[in-house]
């Protein structure tokens, strides 16, 4: 049964000013309408920004621990509604229930972490170079933030952004992905119920070309936080740069798992299976490349292909299934296009490589788990982000060559190395160009209290998650208090 959602602006649920709506359908069963949503435009964004700007003047004055109490209440509501939210998310995004429960849990963890951090927004007190003078630095909010989130983690990623933004005293205009708006709607309802004042959080549904563009161009929005493709991220950075608007970007990845000949091969196999095909490969941290030592290559690929073929693909609401659909028809077409490119480039298709359209899968956008071997480092399928259940396998002779292959991409988000040799592991940690490295664990599995992000075209240097997120959403103010009773001129006055 579908639900009708409205924009939430200034504490009121309102339709798009145009009156237009759109349907959100399940990618596992396109006859299932998850919800009806406003098809908003720039006029709706303007109303939301005005509400957020007005609310900011009061919200910024609320003591941070009091703001944190609201984050705690939101966490408790999320705990109570975890299963219901997970089912909504599976219906609209497709990933299996075990994963959507994990997505909600990550949001819960982030909320409780924000609650704790509300009492730890530490500044610094440092000595002055002059007598009778005190120097201190503390955090202040930035203003109104535009939050633009992707479809693959429709609860976790918005919470990564919105909980730190609110805890540090900012207000928010939130545009969720058009493919997964229902989870976002449930999240905003929880925030309102937890006690977030009117206008502090506003949600505007609609397409990126209308709603997203209006957000990044609005002069009253002081910062933009975006997760999505590097191409869109570059555009956002360009627009924000024109007015020096703060901009936090978490973008693409082409992550690789290295497996050396001394590794626990059973553990490494489980890691790549989960990393490549969890979330149907639709993660920025998904394992898109597997770099195998040449001495174990053939055996490992054969074992991995057997396991991939045996994965149960289907509706994520069925707990027996291990992999859900692609999020949309367009995404499935994009994935298959890369598969065709891989075949033309001369890679060997080991398994998969086709859409699943039989009777059990005909209602949704399913794709078979796919593995290529004989992939060379400069092939397109080894360098570009596919964002689907497609794994490219490459050979290496030693750890140095493995790291060179891993670094041979414009991205640098996550990486994994399986080895029992501690010296190899630490050399790899030093030399891998990535924001995240796992040793004997897959490329996916971030924890909310640690920084998350990457290098090169994976982002612009900011890190979400952990204490660093609170730095993104706050300004530093330096204060000098002179109690000498006279004029002191720093760097000019001298004293004995």
| Catalytic residue positions, numbered | 250, 284
Residue 328 tokens read as 């949309």
Q: Are 256 and 287 in contact (CB under 8 A)?
A: yes
Phi-psi region for residue 448, left (φ > 0), alpha (ψ -120 to 50) or beta?
A: alpha
CA–CA distance, 313 with 86 (Å, rounded to integer): 18
- Closest by alpha carbon to 286, among 95, 129, 468? 95
Total count of residues recorded for the chain? 496
Contacts of 367 by beta carbon, 8 Å cutoff, 6+ apart: 280, 325, 326, 332, 335, 336, 352, 354, 355, 356, 388, 389
Query: CA of 150: how far to CAs of 87, 263, 301, 307, in Å?
Result: 18, 35, 32, 30
Q: Which long-range contacts (CB under 8 A, 24 or more apart) does 431-437 make?
A: 431/403, 431/407, 432/403, 432/406, 432/407, 433/406, 433/407, 434/255, 434/406, 435/459, 435/463, 436/285
CA–CA distance, 409 with 270 (Å, rounded to integer): 25
- Closest by alpha carbon to 189, among 365, 7, 398? 7
Residue 36 tokens read as 């009806």
Contacts of 310 by beta carbon, 8 Å cutoff, 6+ apart: none
- Closest by alpha carbon to 258, among 274, 271, 246? 271
């Amino acid at each position: 049964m579908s639900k009708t959602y409205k924009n939430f602006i200034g504490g009121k649920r309102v339709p798009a000013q145009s009156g237009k709506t759109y349907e959100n359908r399940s990618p596992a069963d396109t006859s299932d309408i998850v919800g009806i949503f406003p098809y908003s435009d720039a006029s709706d964004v303007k109303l939301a920004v005005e509400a957020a700007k007005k609310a900011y003047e009061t919200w910024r004055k609320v003591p941070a621990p009091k703001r944190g109490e609201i984050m705690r209440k939101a966490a408790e509501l999320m705990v109570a509604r975890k299963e219901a939210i997970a089912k909504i998310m599976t219906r609209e995004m497709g990933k299996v229930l075990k994963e959507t429960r994990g997505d909600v849990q990550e949001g819960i963890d982030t909320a409780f972490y924000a609650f704790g951090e509300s009492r730890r927004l530490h500044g610094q007190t440092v000595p002055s170079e002059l007598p009778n003078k005190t120097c201190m630095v503390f955090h202040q909010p930035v203003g109104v933030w535009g939050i633009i989130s992707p479809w693959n983690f429709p609860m976790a990623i918005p919470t990564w952004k919105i909980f730190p933004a609110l805890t540090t005293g900012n207000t928010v205009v939130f545009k969720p992905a058009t493919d997964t708006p229902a989870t976002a709607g449930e999240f905003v309802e929880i925030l309102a119920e937890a006690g977030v004042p009117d206008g502090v959080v506003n949600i505007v549904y609609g397409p990126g070309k209308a709603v997203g563009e209006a957000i990044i161009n609005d002069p009253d929005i002081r910062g933009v936080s975006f997760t999505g493709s590097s191409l869109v991220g570059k555009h956002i950075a360009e627009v924000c740069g024109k007015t020096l608007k703060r901009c936090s970007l978490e973008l693409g990845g082409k992550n690789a798992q290295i497996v050396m000949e001394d590794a626990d091969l059973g553990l490494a196999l489980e890691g790549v299976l989960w990393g490549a095909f969890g979330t149907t490969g639709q993660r920025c941290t998904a394992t898109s490349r597997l770099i195998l030592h040449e001495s174990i290559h053939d055996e490992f690929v054969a074992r991995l292909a057997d396991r991939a073929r045996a994965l149960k693909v289907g509706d994520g609401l069925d707990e027996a299934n291990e992999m859900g659909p692609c999020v949309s028809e367009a995404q499935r077409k994009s994935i298959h296009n890369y598969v065709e490119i891989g075949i033309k480039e001369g890679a060997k298709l080991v398994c998969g490589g086709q859409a699943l359209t039989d009777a059990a899968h005909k209602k949704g956008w399913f794709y078979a788990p796919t593995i290529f071997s004989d992939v060379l480092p400069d092939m397109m399928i080894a360098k570009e982000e596919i964002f689907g259940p497609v794994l490219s396998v490459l050979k290496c002779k030693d750890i140095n060559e493995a790291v060179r292959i891993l670094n041979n991409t414009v991205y640098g988000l996550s990486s994994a190395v399986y080895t029992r040799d501690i010296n190899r592991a630490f050399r790899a940690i030093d030399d891998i160009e990535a924001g995240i490295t796992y040793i004997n664990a897959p490329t996916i599995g971030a924890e909310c209290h640690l920084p998350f992000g990457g290098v090169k075209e994976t982002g612009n240097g900011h890190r979400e998650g952990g204490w660093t997120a609170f730095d993104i959403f706050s300004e530093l103010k330096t204060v000098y208090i002179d109690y000498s009773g006279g004029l002191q001129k720093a760097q000019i006055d001298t004293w004995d």
